[in-house]
Each structure stands twice: as structure tokens, then as C-alpha cells.
Chains A and B, each alone.
Chain A
Amino acid sequence: MGDNLFLQFVQQLINGISLGSIYALIALGYTMVYGIMKLINFAHGDVYMVGAYVGFFAATTANLPFFPSIILAMLATGLGGVIIERLAYKPLRHHPKIAILTTAIGVSLFLEYTTMLLLTPQPRTFPPLLPNAIYHIGGLIISFQQIVILAVSVILMILLTYVVNHTKMGKAMRAVSYDPDAAQLMGINVDKTISFTFFVGSSLAGAAGVLVGIYYNSIEPLMGIMPGMKAFIAAVLGGIGIIPGAMAGGLILGVVEALISGFISSTFRDAAAFAILIIILLIKPTGLFGKNEHEKV
């Protein structure tokens, strides 16, 4: 009996990690944009939805296999992110934060309902891009899809860490997020850096969209709302603006959700995510990886 419970626990842990790695991918986009612009990009969840649709059409209409589809989706959402930033956020950069936040909500609604208008609100079945193999390892069930999801997420995160820490653009990104004015004085092109950040963050969300499409087999125009919120919570949990924090936050959130829906009830899954958010905000508002900043006059 105890053995059985333990097995179930490990099984939920595995499910949680694969779900969490998707959250982490979306959370990275939130955290990067917040880090550089101090903006909660509410449209980010919908960029992820667009990614899923681009992947869908790449796989069905163009008949592309898995890797070209995911790369196409990443490029498309990346460009989409840059366009959104240029048109909707850039003109408001020096205005009150609530104005730009309202625009973000507008962009989010626009993406959702335009997709609904063009592609009908009906859910679509995502084509099986990956073999449907299932491995039984000592009573545990692991699907090939879960392994691919985890592998793709880890590769993307390693790539991102490399870009941020070891390239010139990454250095510029860190400088702008630390102090945009000083960065500009040092000759960094702030506009270009912000656009690049949006490109990278949105393309990660696009990849997450394709992975979710493969994992759940179904996509629809409003699929981005809940994962968007969850990913945002993951970003706050890890400390918003901190890249390793978003990865850890995503994984923790995924595991907690899987455990709660496995052991308590799946209806409380969403409440659990928000409860984590409130607890972390009350105990350590800067997140698990965040440093406390003192208020300055």
C-alpha cells in the first residue's frame, strides 16, 4: 500500500515536471519582458496560443515534421512579439504603467478574438508529430512525448542562459534591465535590445505552444489564458525578472499542480496556483531567488 502510494507520487512528479517545463518556457518570456521593461505582458499567454496554431498549420497544411514545425512557430511568434512591442508598447514606454498594462490587455483580447474570427472557436486536434510510444519502467508510465518536452525545454533554457550570460546582446539585455538610461549613455541601443528580448521571449512561448499542442492533442483560441496566468505565477514564484527563477518556479508550480490534482482534487488545482502566489507574495514578495530591495527616497 505504501509502495503503491510512493509509485503514484513519483508518477505525479514525472507528470508535474513535464507540465512544469512548459510553464517554465512561458514564464521565461514573462520574466525577461518584466526584467527589461517592468511590464506584465498580459498578451504573452496569447502569443503562446498563436505559436500552437502556427505549429498546427505547419504540421497539417505544410506537412512538416516536428523540428521544422517548432522552429517555424518560434520564428513566427518571435516576429509577432517584436511587432506587438513596436506598435503597442513602445509609444507608451514613458507613460504611467497602468496605461501600458491596459494596452497589453487590449492586445491580448485582440489576439484571442482575431484568432477566433479567422480560425473559428472550435478546438482543433493537433496532429501526432511524435510517435505515441509509452515506456513502462518499474510500474511508472513515461511517454515519449514527455521526454521530448523535457528535452526541448532544457535545450532551449540552456541556449537562453548562454545567450544572456555570454553574448554581447545578452550583456546589453542585462544592462538595460539594470538601468535603461545608463545603458543608453553607454551606447547600448535600448530599442533594439528590448525588441530582441521580446523576440526571444515570444519565441520561447511559441515553442511551448507547439509542445502543449502535442501533449494535450487539442488547441483552441482561448487556450492561452490559464497557462498564461500560471506561467506568470511561476515567474513571480521564482522572482520576476530573474531567469533561473522562472525555470525553477515553472517546475515547482507544475509539480505542485500535478500532486494536488493527483491526491486532492483537480478542481482545486487552479486555486492552488493562486494560493501559492499569495503566500509567496506575503512571505517573500521578491520571489524565491529575489534579493530584497530597500525603499529609497
Chain B
Amino acid sequence: MIKQLRKQDVIFLLLSLVIFAVFQFLMSERILTSFWRLNVTVICLNIILASSLNLINGVTGQFSLGHAGFMAIGAYVSAVCTMFFHLPFICSILAGAAAAGVLGFCIGTPTLRLQGDYLAIATLGMGEIIRICILNIPQVGGASGMSGIPTETTFPWLFGCMIVTLFVLKNIINSNQGRACLSVRENAIAAEAMGINTTAFKVFAFTVASMFAGLAGALFSHYFGIAHPSSFTFMRSFDIMTMVVLGGLGSLSGSIVGAVLLTFIAAAMQSYPEYRMIVYALLLIILMLYRPNGIFGDKELASVILSKWKKGGENDGTTAENK
């Protein structure tokens, strides 16, 4: 399978390989304390969550606040697969992602007829309903959560999944479908007049994003070994949305920067727990007041550095580090 890779993709891959190697070295040599090892993990998870939410909120311009619900589905379905059906790890996380994707499709089809704020409220409600339903299923632990999930998520898995997510999303954004999604954001009526089935593309973006949220949830539950309903409240959806908005709506590199920045701030303030959330909140307000379009706007970091980034190549070679 020799596919033509674009130069930018090769650079991106090499860069991510270097980053991976550096972090893998730092982690295996225990140079990073366990606290920072944990935070590198959380950063990877948040990048998956933020960049997938960006497909809905940024690229398609729909306003979803229910990402934590899909994360919960991924976490619980994969945990059930490993614990009750003893499936191998990879099957479980794929099952978790698929379940979240299917649910995203089922929920998206009726709710995406709504627009703007109404969609935001509806998705927020959906996320909460998913959580409360899980809370009331005794087989998966109910309010006390599910514990004893085998901790099989390792850093190479996590990093690999993150790179796959970013590549898939980048290629979607740069494909026909991604352009159609962009046109829905810019002007839904004009897009429809050009023959684009706006509802279908909204549902498409929603399904893909839910699937990746499910993937992140599956990795999450298999990293910490527990899945607890309180990890998936709407506050987590807000957190993810904040990362997307802070980085810049529609910008993948913005989502990455937003996720890294916010997780880092939260981690750095860990020793002052009473001030942590206040500083976080103030930062949020101040950053929004001075950069209401986010750090990157809708531009990509690479489009500033490499002007030829625009068209992506085939999604090959990403599996190279996904061992």
C-alpha cells in the first residue's frame, strides 16, 4: 500500500514522531513525575475531545454542548466489553467509539433540526439524560461508578489514537464533505440553494464527532480503571467547549493549543486548589474579552508557517506509530 503522501503530512508525522519519542523517553525514564505523566495523558484525551467537538462547533457552526454524554457512552460501553465480554482492548475501544457514533446519529437526526441556542440546550439536555440514565443502571455500578476496569491504555495507544483522530479530522475538513460542512456554517440557506443537504451534513459532523468522543471516553475509562457518572457532567462539556472556543472555532491547531493550554493551567495551579478555579475563570473571561475569536481565529498554525498546508494527502503512515 504505497500512497502518495503530501510533504506537509510527512513533516507533521515526523514532528509528531519526535514529540512522541521525547515524551515516551521522559515517561519511561521517569523524568516526569507521576503527576505530569497523568497530565500528559489528560492533554492527549482533551486534544481528541476538543478537536472532535471543533468539527461540530467550529467547522459546521452548530452549537453542541453534549460532548461529555458521548464520552460517557464510550467509557461505559468499552468497560462493559472488557469486563463482561472479555473482548481484547482494541475491540472494546472500537466498540465504545462505534456505540457513541450510533447514538450520535440517533440523537443528531432529530435534534439537528434545531438551530443556535435551542440546539445548545437540547444537546446539553441529551448529555445530562445519558448521564442520569447510566446513574440508574445498577449493572454498571449506578451512582458509585464502575471500577476494576483493566488499565490497558498506555501512552503509545493514547498518542496513536490522538494522531489518528487529528488526521481523520484534518482530512474530513479538507474533503468535499468538510467543504460542505463549512458552507453550512457560512450560510445554511445559500448552501441549500447550492444543492447541499444541510441536515445530512450536520448529522454527519455530529456522528463523526460523537464517535471520537466515544473513543476518548473508552481510552479514559481504560486509563483510570474507573468510569464514574460524575466524570461526565455538563461541566466537562463546558470544559471541552472552552478549549475549542479559546483555541479558535474551526481551527484544528487552535483546538490542540486550547486543550494543552487549559489542561496545563489547571495542572499548574494544582497546588493552590482554592485559587485554581478562580484563576481559570478569570483567564477565561479575560481571554474572551481580548480575543473573542479565540487564539487562532479560524486559521491553522500550519497555514501561517507552511502556506502549502491546505490540501491534505492520504491518511497513510499514521498507523506507523500506532503499535
Which A positions have Cβ atoms within 8 angstroms of B? Answer: 34, 38, 40, 88, 91-92, 95-103, 105-110, 112-114, 116-117, 229, 232-233, 236, 240, 267-268, 270-271, 274-275, 277-278, 281-282, 285, 295, 297
Contact = CB atoms under 8 A, between A and B. Distances in A.
Interface of B: 57, 63, 110-111, 114, 116-118, 120-122, 125-126, 128-129, 132-133, 135-136, 189, 234, 238, 241-242, 245-246, 249, 274-278, 280-285, 288-289, 292-293
Contact of A102 (B110, B114, B241): B241
Instruction: Determine the main DSSP class of A at the interface with B.
Output: helix
B282 A106 contact: yes
B128 A274 contact: yes
Contact of B132 (A95, A96, A270, A297): A270
A96 B278 contact: no
B84 to A, nearest CB: 24
Given A271-B132, A281-B118, A113 B292 contact: no
A96 B126 CA distance: 24
B288 A40 contact: no
Given A278-B125, A282-B110, A271 B278 contact: no
Given A109-B277, A281-B114, 20 more contacts: A88-B289, A92-B288, A102-B288, A103-B289, A105-B284, A109-B278, A110-B281, A110-B285, A113-B278, A233-B125, A236-B121, A271-B129, A274-B125, A274-B126, A274-B132, A281-B111, A281-B118, A281-B122, A282-B110, A282-B122
A268 B132 CA distance: 7
Nearest to A88: B285
A278 B126 contact: yes
A98 B128 CA distance: 20
22 contacts: A38-B117, A88-B285, A97-B116, A101-B120, A107-B281, A109-B277, A109-B281, A110-B278, A113-B281, A116-B277, A117-B274, A229-B234, A233-B125, A236-B118, A267-B132, A267-B135, A270-B132, A274-B132, A275-B125, A281-B111, A281-B125, A282-B122
